[in-house]
Structure 1
């Protein structure tokens, strides 16, 4: 029989000690390299910062010199202006001196005026420095003995910044003339051997102190990392198995939390006491809960008694007896519309160490929103019904309309055979009205049977409303209905079929007029209004038709768009179905509701997808 492989921990301490020592040595080397790189980066950062500061000062001096040259005729010479500028710039923190020298290193200007005329550098030093167009730097010893960060560059305030206006101002000076150590015809960087150079001495003491502090902190941090790293490496040998177990557990918990969060269905975890332990965002939105990003229910854990009663009643048997539940449920909340859901509740196994091993360890609740599916089912049923109506209309429309034409012609003939306002005249007029109504019903049947496509182009809502009002103006006056056109003039255009929109709006306005026909105790007012509603990346245009009639019975609201459902004794119940079909062709929707505050009803046509730039 094969003997088991001995554990490295059973082989004694020497192997472990050597492994720890080797790991510590590698760690020390890595930490040392990181410390050196950190110090090198700090030095580079300091040099770059001081160079940028020095260059900014040189640029500011040259800008001031250009300003002085443009004002050289106003009394003060440009040299005196530049000297004042150097003295003021040298007063800034950490600036030791500013100096302007000629090609031999002799001081022409200095922030300490007593130094003017002296020698800043000898000719050999100037040749070594070699000032050019680009700023350069080096560390030198300042006259007061301090270490200075020296930034220098050839002094050329007129190149390349000399503007046409400035050159025009200096045009009266002969070529080669010099103003404030600047050649008037200088268009390029001057020759370092013949031009002047501007030097800025910056105090590096604060930066050295900061760098020393950074090095000290880096050393302390490196030492701490070395100690902690060495201890960590040593502990890894004794805690390897435990660490792997913790990683596996953490990975499992993360995976479970991510799965819970990303589930498209609502998910609740209920503990055995009947309190919600976890929930995802979908369940929180459905039930009005507050869950944090980890899925834990925020604040004090909510008891299932605070959930909708029908949901709580379905969870309790699972917690008590471990029974599984899988059925459809209608969730009702006082602050939201009823929501159909597919409910699945299953018992969770008890945790390890639980005294009652047969008792459920809680319940897992899955809620799948069926709203969209129910809406699609309703749409399919409605389309099937409309298809049947369309087939019927196609079959009988021709057979009905031909006799209707003959009846209308006969009624028109008979109406001329009787005296006005006689019984025969009234009967003939009644026949004509009924023929028109029957012809309109046949037309609506045919409209329902046709494909709902629309030729979409830009349409102004205000124009469609104006056309409808013009067509119905006589009827509105006859029925003593006041029209209130509240369409804003700046309402953006929508993409639609103007003729079909006219038909939909006419149906809604005729319904509103019919609803107000018997109103006697209040004014009859038909209001047309429109507004924009923000909706993410686009806006929705909402067109409303509001009347002051008796309103719509609550029991009829869910079925008003079904063919042959109507509130009018003489209505066919097809107008709203036609309106809905037209709105679907425009990728919109129509909504009906009672006015709040009343009286009356409101029909809203909603057109989504209006771009923000047109709103």
Structure 2
């Protein structure tokens, strides 16, 4: 990953260098062609200028009778800044007349036999002082278009030589001005090329900058979307807060845990206790806090076990500029822990029941038989017969305990069959009618219309409701009431059974123990009634909860059983498939 990242990082720079080199090559070729074209033009202009001067010199030499000395005339011509020299040479390649008298008599740099009478010859040479000179040479005939009356008035011998023999004439032009112009063009071309390269590189650079900007923006957007999806799909709640405790960011899980639709901008201090959870310590000292657990009351008054972990967000100076909080609803974990704890206890009870139940029941039957015989034998002795009756009742109670133990230790699986709940509840109420009438306790039940038949194990659910009703009747004061309600959740995914009374309720410290085997607050109780109810509900893959007192009421107790309806879920799936 790092190598790929570096390649991406160097790619724009390499591309800019490559583009600059290509642009430099194109500009170099174009500049070379332009300079070469300018050079050709300059040489052509120099050739035309030299030819024109040479023609003027030849014409003057033939027609100007006022010039009496060729050397003076040549020197005057050579005073022009562009003329380096001018001279004549004879067929023996000896200079006969030169603009510089010191050059007369020297050997000419041109060969007579190399000169063509039909055309002008030219070449570029360099003088010892590094001056470049453009030479033009051709044959010169003073006799051409010239008679004696129009000839120059030269000294006799010189004049005779010029008139009787052809000569070669050579004109040298200094290229300083042309070279200066060429250098200016070259410098201008170099400057313009540099400007074009800089501008072109800048254009490419900004193109890459803009491209990288959009690439980074697209990557950032994808990263943000991915991060948002990851945060939204977290099973735990995530909150971001500033140093003052204001919520800056959150995911849907956190909003659900806190029971708020939109907690953004809310003051978390008014929702959670910063001191007990250690959040204030995180903000003040930039220290991490993990798994601080509290019982959190949500806005709907429900209480959940809440685990909070907090980590500081540090700035570039190491200071704390906020914190990230992870909220975990530990309700399911607590339920699982409770289920494990209960399973361990139930396993112990099962082992105890399996080992002792049969050993107790067999001698107990014999003892009860002898007690019944004694009750018949002592029918004329009321005092002794009363003792025997007590013995029989206590043995019956021991037998019920053994029966409950066997039922609890070896529960049969639920045999689900369609049951009309209204008939089942009515049957259970009739079973306890005598007890409720004796204490003048009113029992009312309400079954939501349209429920129809529910898949239940009628025998087990009858036992469960009977245990709950008997438990309520024992604790409710005379003249009290017990209410039974049956309803279905939306979509009939589960059925809800509630048994509520207005008795004194269950002490808070006992709420977590009431479903434990052998836990009871009554001297005559076995402590297995609610444990059996819990086992029956588990056989139906349901849950049972208790509230004491119920929400919004000063006293009482409410048991809520939730049983899923596989038939309802199957029917819903079939209905969705048919659509």
**Shorter-chain-normalised TM-score: which range?**
0.5 to 0.7
**How far is the alpha carbon of 1:532 from its aligned partner?**
1.7
Residues 411-461 of structure 1 show CA distances to partners (whole Å, capped at 9, x for unaligned) of 322333445893333323222221121111111111221145211111222
Q: 1:265·1:368 contact (CA, 8 Å) conserved in 2? A: yes
Question: Is structure 2 residue 302 aligned with structure 1 residue 343?
Answer: no
1:239 alignment partner in structure 2: 210
Matched residues in 2 for 1:279 and 1:311: separation? 21
Question: Is structure 2 residue 346 aligned with structure 1 residue 386?
Answer: yes
C-alpha distance 364-9 of structure 1, shift in aligned 2 (>3 A): farther
1:558 alignment partner in structure 2: 512
Greater fraction helix: 2
Question: Is structure 2 residue 555 aligned with structure 1 residue 591?
Answer: no
C-alpha distance 251-575 of structure 1, shift in aligned 2 (>3 A): same
C-alpha distance 471-363 of structure 1, shift in aligned 2 (>3 A): closer
* 1:326-337 equivalences in 2 (<5 Å): 326-333=290-297, 335=299, 336-337=301-302
Instruction: Find 2:366's aligned residue among 395, 398, 406.
Output: 406
1:567 alignment partner in structure 2: 521
C-alpha distance 509-425 of structure 1, shift in aligned 2 (>3 A): farther
The 3-state SS of whatever aligns with 1:6 is helix
Residues 232-253 of structure 1 show CA distances to partners (whole Å, capped at 9, x for unaligned) of x999677223322322333333
Q: 1:452·1:581 contact (CA, 8 Å) conserved in 2? A: no
* Unmatched tracts of structure 2, length 5 or more: 1-12, 27-203, 573-579
Q: 1:267·1:283 contact (CA, 8 Å) conserved in 2? A: yes
C-alpha distance 410-598 of structure 1, shift in aligned 2 (>3 A): farther
Instruction: Find 1:606's aligned residue among 543, 557, 562.
Output: 562
* 1:208-607 equivalences in 2 (<5 Å): 239-291=210-262, 298=264, 301-310=265-274, 313-333=277-297, 335=299, 336-350=301-315, 357-419=317-379, 422-451=382-411, 453-478=413-438, 480-487=440-447, 490-516=450-476, 519-520=477-478, 523-527=479-483, 529-535=484-490, 537-594=491-548, 597=553, 600-607=556-563
C-alpha distance 551-422 of structure 1, shift in aligned 2 (>3 A): farther
Q: 1:305·1:312 contact (CA, 8 Å) conserved in 2? A: no
Q: 2:485·2:499 contact (CA, 8 Å) conserved in 1? A: no
Superposed CA RMSD in Å reads 3.5
Matched residues in 1 for 2:225 and 2:285: separation? 30
Matched residues in 1 for 2:285 and 2:549: separation? 49
Q: 1:531·1:541 contact (CA, 8 Å) conserved in 2? A: yes
C-alpha distance 564-242 of structure 1, shift in aligned 2 (>3 A): same
Matched residues in 2 for 1:238 and 1:543: separation? 68
TM-score (norm 2): 0.58
The 3-state SS of whatever aligns with 1:568 is coil
Structure whose alpha-carbon radius of gyration is higher:
2
2:90 alignment partner in structure 1: none
Residues 139-163 of structure 1 show CA distances to partners (whole Å, capped at 9, x for unaligned) of xxxxxxxxxxxxxxxxxxxxxxxxx
TM-score (norm 1): 0.55
**How far is the alpha carbon of 1:375 from its aligned partner?**
0.9
**How far is the alpha carbon of 1:334 from its aligned partner?**
5.5
* 1:118-197 equivalences in 2 (<5 Å): none
Matched residues in 1 for 2:307 and 2:481: separation? 45
Instruction: Find 1:6's aligned residue among 4, 11, 17.
Output: 17
Aligned residues: 378
Residues 177-232 of structure 1 show CA distances to partners (whole Å, capped at 9, x for unaligned) of xxxxxxxxxxxxxxxxxxxxxxxxxxxxxxxxxxxxxxxxxxxxxxxxxxxxxxxx
Matched residues in 2 for 1:274 and 1:487: separation? 48
**How far is the alpha carbon of 1:8 from its aligned partner?**
3.7
C-alpha distance 525-260 of structure 1, shift in aligned 2 (>3 A): closer
Q: 1:326·1:343 contact (CA, 8 Å) conserved in 2? A: yes
2:113 alignment partner in structure 1: none
C-alpha distance 558-420 of structure 1, shift in aligned 2 (>3 A): farther
* Unmatched tracts of structure 1, length 5 or more: 16-232, 292-296
